[in-house]
Structure 1
Amino acid sequence: MTKLPQLDQFSRIVVKVGSSLLVDRTRGALKQEWLDALVADITALHQRGADVLVVSSGAVALGRTVI
């Protein structure tokens, strides 16, 4: 998490993750490698003392494959 050092100044961060970033529409599955990288970045922010809230509509996109 070295690309955005300016985030250190914030104690609370909201991350909005759109469905197209979270779900591979051709497979109807999570983009696991991308999600793992996001979790690593969020972990780094949390270890620096930030509260991180993740907001997404990804459940809707994943549910489309079931319907």
Structure 2
Amino acid sequence: MGLHVSAERGRCIGAGLCVLTAPDVFEHDDDEGLVSVLDATPPAEHHEDVRLAQELCPANAIALAVPR
């Protein structure tokens, strides 16, 4: 089952928990230090880390969706 990842940069506070938890999916840009999504449809082996990153995000800036 696929998973679509998005991040709302306007909500991001740059805590970095997403990058620490799922570095293959998230990064912080050098200019603003805010989240960027590297892989919006990560492979299944990253899904658990991505879900944890969403839970840990203090700004609730990460959204996950399962495409139909």
TM-score by length of 2: 0.32
Q: Which has the larger radius of gyration?
A: 1
TM-score normalised to the size of structure 1?
0.32
